[in-house]
Amino acid sequence: MSNRLINVLVPVISIILGLLVGAVVMLVSGYDPVAGYTALWNGIFGDSYAIGETIRQISPYILAGLAVAFAFRTGLFNIGVEGQLIVGWFAAAYVGMAFELPKIIHLPLALLAAAAAGALWGLIPGLLKATLKVHEVIVTIMMNYIALHLVNALIKVVAKGGFKTDKIHDTASLRSDFLSELTDFSTLHYGIFVALFMVFIMWFILERMKLGYELKSVGFNENAAQYAGMSVKKNIVMAMVISGAFAGLGGAMEALGTFGNMSTRAGFTGIGFDGIAVALLGANTPLGVVFGASLFGSLKYGANNMPNAADIPIEIVSIVIALIIFFVASGYIIRVGLQRIGKKKEAK
């Protein structure tokens, strides 16, 4: 079996295994897996409204996945996407509600604010990694909690003691009457185009710019890149900043598109963590991330239909997602299995 085929087969097999184990869990718990997955399918593709909502859900997943994947290309593990997304969400919501500007300025400004906030949240672990060699995994985890508590406090300040910010002005909104009417009045908004544009941006940076070449070189072999005269430190910081900006834009999807404001949160959104899975499934490539995000966005949104249509708790989909991450991470063993099968076939 060729390497290329195996690279495609590993995520596909992981998804199938995840769904299979999910079915077994449903069976063991006394639920009907066929009814469960039918409800899931209908929740995703059932009607044009469901499709609209599913696409809406995919947009932040694309950006979270890009964030993880981009850092990964430089050999960095950004577990801080969740925190970067939260500060981005707040920044966009704040700019959206606090200023009154014409749309042509206001919307880009709000998006920019979200990207900048996320970038700032990525800058800190980036700088610490580059200058003091502090492991980015732990720092980004800690930054997640700092973001959560800090933003909760800021929301209370902005809302004068309340628990959610005011609605953003229409001039900062990503809402789209056209897309909404097209999908039977779902909350689908223009965010999906922003996300897809960023997919292009990531591809462009990685494949068409000197910066991307350097970032990838550092990711492949730090020492060789250093020897070739590239600044490893600068590239580490750049990678985390750009990664954070993607994540911050993910927050803007929620602030400017889906919710139009931000409420205090008891816990994380989960989008950032799922972004890790999205990037893994997408093999850290821009196009791969679109596929990964489509899968996870669909599963997450479609799951909402499971309690109503099949009386199955929504969390079954979270179980399936976690299992898929496990299987993708354990790709080594799937590879070994595939190669054995391949060899047997050759022997015949």
Partner 1 sequence: MGGFLDILYFIVPISIAYAAPLIFTAIGGVFSERSGVINIGLEGLMVMGAFVGIVFNLFFVDTFGAWTPWVSILAAMVVSAIFSLMHAVASISFRADQVVSGVAINLLGIAIALFSVKMIYGKGQTDFIQEKIPRFNIPFLQDIPVLGPMFFKSVYGSSILAVVIAILAWFIIFKTPFGLRLRSVGEHPMAADTMGIKVNRIRYIAVIISGGLAGMGGAVYAQTMTNDFGHATINGQGFMALAAMIFGKWHPIGAMGAALFFGFAQALAISSSGIPFMQNVPSVFLYILPYALTIIALAGFIGKANAPKAIGDPYIKGSR
* Min separation Cβ 128 and partner 1, Å: 6
Q: Concatenated DSSP letters for 256-277?
A: IIISSS-B--SS--SHHHHHHH
Contact indicator for 25, 316 with CB cutoff of 8 Å: yes
C-alpha–C-alpha distance, residues 346 and 298, integer Å = 38
* Min separation Cβ 154 and partner 1, Å: 8
- Restricting to residues 257-276, which ones interact with partner 1 according to CB under 8 A? 266-267, 270, 273, 276
Among residues 121, 7, 116, 125, the alpha carbon closest in space to that of 76 is found at 125
CA distances from 108 to 41, 116, 190, 194, 237 (A): 36, 12, 13, 11, 24
> Taking the CB of residue 122, how many other CB atoms lie within 10 A of it?
35
Among 35, 101, 120, 134, indicate the residue that binds partner 1 (CB under 8 A). Answer: 134
C-alpha–C-alpha distance, residues 294 and 58, integer Å = 6
Among 48, 120, 164, 313, indicate the residue that binds partner 1 (CB under 8 A). Answer: 313
* Min separation Cβ 261 and partner 1, Å: 20
Residue found by looking up tokens 């499971």 in the block: 306
Angle at 84 between CA 83 and CA 90, to 5 degrees: 90
Instruction: Check residue 159 for interaction with partner 1 (CB under 8 A).
Output: no
Q: Which is nearer to partner 1, 109 or 141 (CB)?
A: 141
Instruction: Check residue 139 for interaction with partner 1 (CB under 8 A).
Output: yes
Rounded to a whole number, what is the distance in angstroms from the first to the last CA of the chain?
14
The binding track of 5-44 with respect to partner 1, each residue x by CB under 8 A or -, is --------------------x---x---------------
C-alpha–C-alpha distance, residues 298 and 206, integer Å = 27
Q: Which is nearer to partner 1, 110 or 316 (CB)?
A: 316
Among 6, 137, 196, 211, indicate the residue that binds partner 1 (CB under 8 A). Answer: 137
Instruction: Check residue 45 for interaction with partner 1 (CB under 8 A).
Output: no
Instruction: Check residue 315 for interaction with partner 1 (CB under 8 A).
Output: yes
- Restricting to residues 57-96, which ones interact with partner 1 according to CB under 8 A? 77, 79
Among 19, 120, 141, 232, indicate the residue that binds partner 1 (CB under 8 A). Answer: 141
Q: Which is nearer to partner 1, 167 or 335 (CB)?
A: 335
Among 35, 112, 150, 338, indicate the residue that binds partner 1 (CB under 8 A). Answer: 150
Among residues 34, 30, 41, 33, the alpha carbon closest in space to that of 305 is found at 41
C-alpha–C-alpha distance, residues 195 and 58, integer Å = 9
C-alpha–C-alpha distance, residues 25 and 32, integer Å = 10
Candidates 96-104, 112-120, 255-263, 309-317 — which segment interacts with partner 1 by CB under 8 A? 309-317
Candidates 140-148, 165-173, 226-234, 237-245 — which segment interacts with partner 1 by CB under 8 A? 140-148
Could you list the residues that contact partner 1 (CB under 8 A)?
Answer: 25, 29, 77, 79, 124, 128, 132, 134-135, 137-139, 141-143, 145-146, 149-150, 152-153, 266-267, 270, 273, 276, 280, 313, 315-316, 318-319, 321-323, 325-326, 328-333
